[in-house]
């Protein structure tokens, strides 16, 4: 039974135009020494092309199992040319299972349990950290804007200082993609918080 790839469908690095290269591991690899000693230096370039392509795949670090797709990714003009080098350039690659979190089903793809797996796990961990930081920053900005509008509208201070309420409103605006205007804040307070109290009329707030 093939091993399960650590990344699932949808976990990509397609927005990254670089990836780390472990030079010492590459220079001491059996693939490199075998390619050089057997007079197949061109296979090294083909392997590097596929490594770079794997970083753009879904999930990151994998390749399709279909030879037509692989031949196209490796920039070959015919399936026959690809099949002549397939065994050599796919050194270290093996069949892995990729889980689709939406359906719970698994499909077979090619993965590199050594070098490539280490790279994508580290990069995706960093990506999630950066994404979380950006999301926290966006949420903080929305909370600031909501509090500012509430002050203008004359909303009671105890609501403005209630962080759970403000966070709920900020998440509402995050998902709805509505602009944070007095009218929208008023509607969100009713929908999200069930607020029925009076606030300063919009026309008065603008004055």
Confidence at residue 37, expressed as pLDDT on a 0 to 100 scale: 93
- With a cut of 70, say whether residue 204 has pLDDT above it: no
Give the integer Cα–Cα distance in Å for 40 and 136.
50
DSSP letters for 79-147: HHHHHHHHHHHTTT-EEEEEE-TTT--EEEEEE-TTHHHHHHHHHHHHHHHHHHHHHHHHHHHHHHHHH
DSSP letter (8 states) at residue 192 = I
Inter-CA distances, 180 with 58, 146, 147, 158, Å: 35, 7, 10, 20
Confidence at residue 115, expressed as pLDDT on a 0 to 100 scale: 75
Token pair listed for 124: 């995706």
Rounded mean pLDDT, 29-55: 93
pLDDT digits (tens, 9 = 90+) for 85-111: 999 999 989 999 999 988 889 999 999
Helix, strand or coil for residue 3? Answer: strand
Cβ neighbours around 53 below 10 Å, total: 17
Rounded mean pLDDT, 31-38: 93
pLDDT band at 15 (very low <50, low <70, confident <90, very high): low
Cα 94 to chain center, whole Å? Answer: 23
- With a cut of 70, say whether residue 128 has pLDDT above it: no
Rounded mean pLDDT, 106-133: 77
Backbone angles phi, psi at 138, to 5 degrees: -65, -40
Rounded mean pLDDT, 133-158: 84
pLDDT digits (tens, 9 = 90+) for 183-200: 889 889 888 888 876 655
Give the integer Cα–Cα distance in Å for 128 and 87.
35
Helix, strand or coil for residue 207? Answer: coil
pLDDT digits (tens, 9 = 90+) for 147-183: 998 998 888 898 898 998 899 998 888 888 788 998 8
Confidence at residue 133, expressed as pLDDT on a 0 to 100 scale: 61
pLDDT digits (tens, 9 = 90+) for 61-94: 899 999 999 999 999 999 999 999 999 999 989 9
> Among all chains, which residue has been given the structure tokens 């196209």?
72
pLDDT digits (tens, 9 = 90+) for 19-28: 777 788 889 8
pLDDT band at 130 (very low <50, low <70, confident <90, very high): low
Does 183 or 18 have the greater pLDDT score?
A: 183
DSSP letter (8 states) at residue 35 = H
Q: Within 13 A of 206's CA, how many CA atoms are on the CB side?
A: 6
Inter-CA distances, 93 with 21, 112, 128, 202, Å: 17, 4, 26, 63
pLDDT band at 135 (very low <50, low <70, confident <90, very high): confident
């Amino acid at each position: 039974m093939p091993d399960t790839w650590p990344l699932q469908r949808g976990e990509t690095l397609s927005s990254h135009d670089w990836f780390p290269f472990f030079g010492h591991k590459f220079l001491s690899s059996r693939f490199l020494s075998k390619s050089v000693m057997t007079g197949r230096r061109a296979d090294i370039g083909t392997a590097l092309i596929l490594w770079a392509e794997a970083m753009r795949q879904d999930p990151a670090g994998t390749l399709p199992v279909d030879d037509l797709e692989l031949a196209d990714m490796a920039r070959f003009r015919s399936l026959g040319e690809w099949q002549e080098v397939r065994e050599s350039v796919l050194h270290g690659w093996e069949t892995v299972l990729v889980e689709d979190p939406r359906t719970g089903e698994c499909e077979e793809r090619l993965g590199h349990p050594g070098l490539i797996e280490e790279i994508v796990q580290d990069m995706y961990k960093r990506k999630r950290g950066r994404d979380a930081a950006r999301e926290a920053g966006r949420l903080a900005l929305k909370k600031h804007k909501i509090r500012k509008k509430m002050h203008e509208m004359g909303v009671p201070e105890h609501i403005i200082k209630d962080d759970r309420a403000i966070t709920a409103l900020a998440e509402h605006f995050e998902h709805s993609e509505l602009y944070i205007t007095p009218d929208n804040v008023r509607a969100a307070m009713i929908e999200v918080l069930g607020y029925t109290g009076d606030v300063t009329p919009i026309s008065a707030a603008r004055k």
